[in-house]
Amino acid sequence: TISIRSIEKKFGRYPALNKVDLEIADGELLALLGPSGSGKTTLLRTIAGLEFPDAGQVLFDGEDVTFASAAARRVGFVFQQYALFKHMTVAKNIAFGLDVRKGKDKPDKAEIARRVEALLKLVELEGLGKRYPSQLSGGQRQRVALSRALAVQPSVLLLDEPFGALDATVRKSLRKELRRVHDATGVTTIFVTHDQEEALELADRVAILNKGQIEQVGTPDQVHEEPETAFVCGFVGEAN
């Protein structure tokens, strides 16, 4: 379980997050939904350990990780621009988080190769391990980024507008892909989107942010049919 307790974060005077509380259950697929500037990315980065709050706590299974590094939290992170290493093959990209480990923590070569193969199969990129990122489509690159994040067997998978840079058709197929990968691995997953259709279609629960605060958290049906605030109503409710 991930517990976010009364998190506050300011950039200058402006609060990006203002007393945010949120609980995410093990194995859940949660969307952070809201308009531009509502604090989605800041919240995701705070959960990741890429940003540290001014006040409040982040707990992983009851353990306070508020100021722990991303590596210590064992998070897998997928950025909007896939950020693959251009000079490395697909297989090397996926293995990166394992290759950089040291000593006892580092799996042997055969084990790394086995995991890479399994991940390529999981995201339906079998046989493409020897290619370079420049030889892949945008959607394929994002699948590689997803595999790379999963390679370290993360405690939580975090994705920031993972499909934002892709066209509508590819977005749709990657949505299905993320759902399938989530169901296959069971890993707790949190993704940021400003696209209400994407959030409602894909997520088990949706947290709706506005001006650094959470307006409502609920299942897609709940936020769609029983919006609790005027903002939620306008953003995802029946009025739409």
The binding site for ligand ATP (CB under 6 A) comprises: 11, 14, 16, 34, 36-42, 194
Q: How far is the CB of 110 from ligand ATP (least distance, A)?
A: 41
Residue 28 or 161 with smaller CB distance to ligand ATP: 161
Which of 40/92 has CB closer to ligand ATP? 40
Q: How far apart are CA 41 and CA 16, in angstroms?
A: 10
Q: Kindly tell me which of 160 and 177 has the beta carbon lying closer to ligand ATP.
A: 160
CB contact burial 126-164 (16+ within 10 A = b; e otherwise):
eebbeeebeebeebbbbbbbbbbbbbbebbbbbbbbbbb
Token pair of 19, please? 């007393």
Output 16 or 136, the one with its CB closest to ligand ATP: 16
Among residues 37 and 218, whose Cβ is nearest to ligand ATP?
37
Query: Measured from the CB of residue 73, what is the shortest distance to ligand ATP in angstroms?
Result: 19
Minimum Å gap between C-beta 21 and ligand ATP is 17
Phi, psi (deg, nearest 5) at residue 150: -80, -20
CA-nearest of 68, 4, 18 to 211 is 18
| Radius of gyration of the chain, Cα coordinates, nearest whole angstrom | 18
Q: How far is the CB of 14 from ligand ATP (least distance, A)?
A: 6
Q: How far is the CB of 10 from ligand ATP (least distance, A)?
A: 9
* Half-sphere exposure for 68 (CA within 13 Å, toward CB): 16
